[in-house]
Structure 1
């Protein structure tokens, strides 16, 4: 089992360094939920299907991420508070290459 370190700034501006397993097929949204870094019912509303943007985050590090899917791009085109570095947490799978990833949760819609 390989755990990676991720830095997450919650919606109140508090920074958290968390460990995320890479062998459990978790995505960033699920990591945020497991550490309760957003109130229940405010993140991952669609269950991780790239259909709601409640898990939108801003990528602050230069960590190389997987290509954005058409579904993710379409959802972000309709979301609020989108920035050039916006991604959907549900679309970022935890892999060893993401060690050191730094993100900030977007404001609740």
Structure 2
């Protein structure tokens, strides 16, 4: 008879643009972009989670929780520089993976995002 292994679940709360809270139980390794999209929250993720845009920008509510996260790498910092409403605790949702240390994480979705891919496409279309 096999051993039943339980996967630990962590809680995450998203505060949407209207200020409503949405709390979910998620598995280790899930990233915030995937969680938001699976639960129909407004987080675009224009680049598909490849750290090539800033449309999954989130603001971590608790500075202590932010400090527990791995440091953003250079690619993430470059994309964060392009985000609207950047704060000291801003991160890209595609780069934050849930873990035991992240249990209870709360993030706010900013009121605006910048989709560089869409604006680049629109400007190319006008020229063409």
Find out whether 1:30 has 2:34 as its counterpart.
yes
Which residue pairs with 1:20 in the alignment? 26
TM-score calculated relative to the size of structure 2: 0.76
Deviation at 1:107, TM superposition (A): 2.1
SS in 2 for 1:7: strand
Give the conservation status (yes or no) of the 8 Å contact 1:55–1:106. Answer: no
**Secondary structure in 2 aligned to 1:17?**
strand
CA contact under 8 A between 1:4 and 1:96: conserved in structure 2? yes
Superposed CA offset, 1:4-35 (max 9, x none):
0011101121011111111xx32111111111
Coordinate RMSD, CA, aligned? 1.2
Q: Which residue of 1 aligns with 2:82?
A: 78
Corresponding position of 2:125: none
Give the alignment's TM-score, normalised by structure 1. Answer: 0.88
Q: Which runs of 4+ in 1 moved over 2 A?
A: none
Tell which structure's C-alpha radius of gyration is larger: 2
Structure 2's unaligned 5+ residue stretches are: 1-6, 114-128
C-alpha deviation, 1:87, in angstroms: 0.5
Matched, 1:4 2:5: no
Q: Could you say which residue in structure 2 is the equivalent of 1:90?
A: 94
